[in-house]
Amino acid sequence: MEETLLELLCAPLSHAALRMASSTELRQINSRIQQRLIRNRDGSILDIELDGSLLCESEKTCYPIRDGLPVLVPGEAFDWPLTS
């Protein structure tokens, strides 16, 4: 995702800043998705690996990026950092 676009985006509920997940963080997220260990805020188990992820440190929330598009829908978000 382009840096200029990232600068324009914010968390939908708190309007806090977002940052791209690092490659290490994304591998960790996708590994948990493969194991069916991540539920989004709507309660659904994530079962499709993400292209990327936007993290909101202040909300402790992760917003998925699918097909190159950020999904900034609160119900699609999941907790961050990941818990065991």
pLDDT tens digit string along 23-80? Answer: 999 999 999 999 999 999 999 999 999 999 999 999 999 999 999 999 999 999 999 9
pLDDT at 1: 61
CA separation for the pair 40, 27 (Å, rounded): 17
Question: Is residue 7 very low, low, confident or very high in pLDDT (cuts 50, 70, 90)?
Answer: confident
Question: Is residue 20 very low, low, confident or very high in pLDDT (cuts 50, 70, 90)?
Answer: very high
CA separation for the pair 68, 44 (Å, rounded): 21
Which of 18, 7, 2, 23 lies closest to 55 in space, CA to CA?
A: 18
Angle, vertex CA 21, rays to CA 15 and CA 30, nearest 5 = 120
- pTM of the predicted structure, to 2 decimals: 0.90
Q: Give the distance, in angstroms, between the CA of residue 82 and the centroid of all CA atoms in the same chain.
A: 11
Which of 52, 32, 41 lies closest to 12 in space, CA to CA?
A: 41
